[in-house]
Amino acid sequence: MKYGILIVSHSADIAKGVKALISQAAPDLSITIAGGTDENGIGSSLEKIQQAVDDNTGDEILAFYDLGSSKMNLEMLMEMTDRTIHKYDVALVEGAYIAATLAEVDSPLATIEDNLKSLKIK
């Protein structure tokens, strides 16, 4: 598929939960997650994000995150990787859900981004 989805959260459970939710709307998409620290505590892990990016089979990645260090680690990874990653400063659950729904039916990026606009909260 053209687009894959990446979920970065401070909590492993939130990341897993969002994946379960959006997988229903987009069963064919590559959805990979990075939740919590390396020890599965609350926080974020560059290593987990790296792994989730490596595992994602989308040609390009649409990335969603929750709080501060998730964003910073995601941005750090974006500076290091060759993959094309689009990061969205939107509500995590709703944003990922809309993007997954639209990507599943091969919507163009402009359409996806247009629909995400109203969810921008950070």
Partner 1 sequence: MKLELVDAKKWINLFVEKLEKNQTDLNELDTAIGDGDHGTNMKRGAEAITAAFEKKDPENLSDLYKATAFAMIQKVGGASGPLYGTAFLDMSKAVKTDNLELGDLLQIGTDGLKRRGESDTGMKTMIDVWQPVSDALKVNKFDQKVIDNALENVKNLVATKGRASYLEEKSKGHIDPGAQSSAYLFESLIEIMGA
Question: Which residue among the candidates 10, 12, 48, 77 is catalytic per the annotation?
Answer: 10
**Residue (77 or 99) nearer to partner 1, CB:** 77
Q: Is the dihedral of CA 17, 2, 53, 43 positive or negative?
A: negative
Sketch the per residue contact string, 31 through 70, with partner 1: x for CB under 8 A, - otherwise: ------xx--xxxxxxx--------------------xx-
C-alpha 64/C-alpha 74 separation (Å) is 9
Q: What is the spatial order of strands in the sheet that 85-88 belongs to?
A: 31-35, 3-9, 60-65, 85-88
49: closest CA among 64, 31, 34? 34
Q: Is 86 a catalytic residue?
A: no
Q: What is the nearest approach in angstroms of partner 1 to the Cβ of residue 37?
A: 4
Sketch the per residue contact string, 80 through 119, with partner 1: x for CB under 8 A, - otherwise: ----------------------------------------
| Binding window for partner 1 (CB under 8 A); candidates: 19-27, 51-59, 71-79, 107-115 | 71-79
Q: What is the nearest approach in angstroms of partner 1 to the Cβ of residue 51?
A: 13
DSSP per-residue letters across 26-69: -TTS-EEEEES-TTSSSS--HHHHHHHHHH--SSEEEEEE-SHH
Q: Which residues bind partner 1 (CB under 8 A)?
A: 37-38, 41-47, 68-69, 72-73, 75-76
